[in-house]
């Protein structure tokens, strides 16, 4: 073979290898591009999406070693051809059997397509703040902090958010103080000298805990020490014995609370009753007495009496009416499916959702749907 032919074939080989590399890069890019659709179709959260990415990388890295060994044993040309054949076959099968993201879904809701993300956040006040800044279009907030934000009271004094708008309310969220068994806490007075998580700044649980402490006439010095853990961190800290108790506004049953009841802490919620608590209930429309029935959690032999709020969905008057209309329509016209998303949603009634716990004015887009549906 003369030198010119060899030189020419080198360029052909380089071109083929470059195209192979392009295919590899395209596969990597395709996974990233597909993540939003995977999230929607598989109802995957950020952690699960990261696992999908990690699984792809692990398989990709493992096959590099396998194909390298095959190349050494049978020749690199054969290994390359086998690899390309496998990629082509799998791609063809995927294209053949893949369904559209709209497969099996009703198209009657709207001709427009909206993409949604649900990030984990710092809680009610953070969500409302992000809506005010235009970073979020919707958020979940406790009914008490919806009231304070729109009226400029409590933590929202001097920062009144007149543009806050209500969409609908959902489940009850009793405020609960959970204490590990060995701490021997039976009521609020039992928290004196204990290590208590009061919640992260900006969260609804922090705000409600501070309202309760104020009603009880105590401050942080009442406890041995306080922590500012998020709701996702506090159960582990309780189970590990790093804190004695925490306060949390959450619907029931709740998986994290069951974990607190069944881990080494053997924790249970305590009763919150008496004059100060009743004063909170009597002094604000957004608070109401609440009961967690016996047997809700492992080891809970008696009803637990406390007070609570509503979880509400809020937005701002800057969000376009059609978007809010379509969101509300999607929920209310798929109401049975919506109620199956969490046990706390099971008792929901449409009529209550458009009235209970809503201090801010209803958004015009929501009102439009409620009137069309005969709910107003």
Report field, pTM of the whole predicted structure over 0.85:
no
- pLDDT single digits (tens) 37-63: 766 666 666 667 777 777 877 877 787
Tell me the DSSP string of 202-214: T-HHHHHHHHHHH
The total of structural domains in the chain comes to: 2
Residues 86 and 135 in one domain: no
| Per-residue pLDDT reduced to its tens digit, 123-147 | 888 999 999 999 999 999 989 899 9
322 or 31: which carries more pLDDT confidence?
322
Q: Same domain, yes or no, for 150 and 296? A: yes
Give the pLDDT band (50/70/90) at residue 81.
Answer: confident
* Residue whose C-alpha is closest to residue 313's, from 347, 348, 345, 357: 357
251 and 153, same structural domain? yes
Name the residue range of residue 266's domain.
124-372
Under 8 Å between Cβ of 144 and 357: no
The mean-pLDDT minimum among 77-86, 167-176, 303-312 falls in 77-86
Q: Are 271 and 306 in contact (CB under 8 A)?
A: yes
pLDDT of residue 229: 93
> Which residue among 78, 97, 116 closes a domain?
97
Q: How many CB atoms lie within 10 A of CB 215?
A: 17
SS3 state at 21: helix
3-state per-residue secondary structure call for 90-135 = HHHHHHHHCCCCCCCCCCCCCCCCCCCCCCCCCCHHHHHHHHHCCC
Contact indicator for 128, 161 with CB cutoff of 8 Å = yes
Residues 154 and 284 in one domain: yes
Pair (67, 158) in one structural domain: no
What is the predicted pLDDT for the residue at 368? 96
SS3 assignment, position 1? coil
Q: Residue 34 in 3-state DSSP?
A: helix
């Amino acid at each position: 073979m003369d030198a010119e032919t060899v030189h020419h074939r080198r360029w052909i080989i380089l071109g083929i290898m470059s195209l192979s590399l392009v295919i590899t890069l395209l596969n990597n890019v395709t996974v990233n591009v597909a993540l939003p659709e995977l999230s929607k179709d598989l109802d995957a959260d950020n952690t699960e999406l990261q696992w999908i990415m990690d699984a792809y990388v692990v398989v990709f890295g493992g096959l590099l070693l396998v194909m390298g060994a095959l190349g050494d044993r049978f020749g690199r040309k054969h290994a390359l051809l086998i690899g390309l054949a496998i990629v082509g076959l799998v791609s063809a099968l995927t294209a053949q059997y893949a369904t559209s993201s709209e497969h099996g879904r009703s198209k009657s809701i709207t001709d427009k397509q909206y993409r949604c993300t649900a990030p984990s956040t710092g809680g009610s006040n953070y969500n409302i703040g992000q809506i005010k800044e235009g970073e979020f279009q919707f958020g979940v907030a406790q009914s008490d902090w919806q009231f304070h934000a729109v009226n400029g009271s409590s933590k929202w004094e001097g920062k009144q958010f007149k543009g806050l708008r209500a969409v609908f309310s959902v489940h009850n969220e009793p405020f609960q103080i959970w204490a590990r068994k060995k701490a021997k806490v039976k009521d609020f007075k039992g928290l004196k000298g204990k290590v208590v998580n009061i919640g992260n700044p900006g969260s609804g649980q922090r705000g409600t805990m501070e309202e309760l402490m104020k009603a009880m006439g105590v401050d942080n010095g009442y406890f041995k020490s306080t922590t500012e853990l998020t709701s996702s961190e506090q159960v582990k800290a309780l189970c590990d014995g790093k804190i004695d108790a925490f306060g949390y506004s959450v619907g029931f049953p709740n998986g994290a609370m069951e974990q607190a009841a069944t881990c080494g802490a053997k924790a249970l919620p305590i009763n919150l009753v008496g004059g100060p608590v009743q004063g909170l209930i009597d002094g604000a429309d957004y608070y109401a007495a609440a009961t967690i029935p016996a047997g809700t959690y492992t080891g809970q032999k008696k009803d637990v009496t406390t007070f609570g709020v509503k979880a509400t969905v809020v937005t701002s008057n800057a969000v376009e009416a059609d978007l809010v209309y379509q969101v509300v329509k999607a929920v209310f016209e798929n109401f049975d499916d919506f109620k199956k998303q969490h046990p706390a949603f099971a008792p929901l009634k449409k009529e209550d959702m458009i009235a209970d716990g809503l201090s801010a004015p209803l958004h015009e887009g929501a009102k439009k749907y409620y009137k069309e549906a005969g709910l107003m």
